Amino acid sequence: MGLEENTIVIYFNDNGPNSWRWNGGMKGRKGSTDEGGVRTPLFMKWPAAIKKGLVVEQIASVIDLLPTLTDLAGIEHNIPKPLDGISLEPLLLEENPQWSDRYIFNQWKEKISVRSQKYRLGNGGALFDIENDREQLVNMAEQEPEVHKELLQAKAEYINEVVVQLPKEDPRPFPIGFPEATYTQIPARDGVAHGHIQRSNRYPNCSFFTNWISLDDRITWDAEVLEEGDFQVTLYYTCPEGDEGSRFQLSLGDNTLKGKIETAFDPPLKGMENDRTQTRGESYVKDFKPLNLGLMHLDKGVGQLTLEALDIPGQSVMDVRLLIFEKQ
């Protein structure tokens, strides 16, 4: 069928390392806007069209993937707002592509840096020649005043044109029932704990909710049902031996679904065997048991998805990792 020859495969990662360790001689780590905080590799494979061994030296960004992939696949996109990304198709397919220098803006909270092909304007305003100084040790602002001025101006324009439009907080609810998707995952990562319930780690990735011990405790997600319908709901939980029997309710607006923990399931935490340091950044993990709760009808609209206990015969209700809604 030639699927491998004509399938585009992309591999990349999202940021630099999440702790201080060797980083290719670059300054920074995850959470910084220095070169080592934002520069990552990207590999693309398309045997039918991309020359094997091609190395693209021009700077690019993840925002370029949408226009690049739509161009490569011959798909027209109808985006209501102009795209900041640029199609990389010429760099991938043409022998001598015409390509102009560009600025890539990296922002993390209040920190902003600007990258051109040769230079990076750091968050503090210093100018670095990244081609020759990946460690960002030498401030080139005095030696290259015009370049420094241009990058400062570009940063000011970015703040005035883009940053001012960004909300201080993201108010968007969690979407359920996207018309073209069968499954919607609602992870603990995106929920809010109330009462005694605690997150397994202050960093939400891979975390779960634990210490559910009171009828006053609950877990909520701000949600928006995009399309009315019936959904098969599955809950992923753990429960220690002796705490079985808790009854609980899942609700969204006037729609409710009740469940009961019939079976204990309490596997050990894992991950500590791979720790490189004594201080761990993210949650340990464990296996969770799926529990089919049955069908739940959801009306279109915005509301608060709530998981709460109705009866707690033991010491706790359960630990919660994930809800899955399967459109029927």
Question: Tell me, what CATH number does 225's domain have?
Answer: 2.60.120.260
Inter-residue contact 148 to 155 (CB < 8 Å): no
In a domain? residue 2: no
Answer whether residue 37 shows pLDDT above 70.
yes
In a domain? residue 22: yes
Residues 87, 146 within the same domain: yes
In a domain? residue 4: no
Residues 15, 161 within the same domain: yes
In a domain? residue 3: no
Write out the residue range of the structural domain in which residue 105 sits. 9-165
Residues 292, 318 within the same domain: yes
Last residue of a domain, one of 165, 184, 211: 165
Give the span between the Cα atoms of 216 and 278, in whole angstroms. 35
Residues 17, 160 within the same domain: yes
pLDDT of 244-275, one tens digit each? 999 999 999 999 999 999 999 999 999 888 77
Please give the average per-residue pLDDT across 113-132, as a whole number. Answer: 98
Domain total for the chain? 2
Residues 157, 190 within the same domain: no
In a domain? residue 151: yes
Give the span between the Cα atoms of 316 and 243, in whole angstroms. 6
Residues 153, 186 within the same domain: no
pLDDT of 142-196, one tens digit each? 999 999 999 999 999 999 999 998 888 888 999 999 999 999 999 999 999 999 9
Question: Residue 236 has which token pair?
Answer: 């992923």
In a domain? residue 276: yes
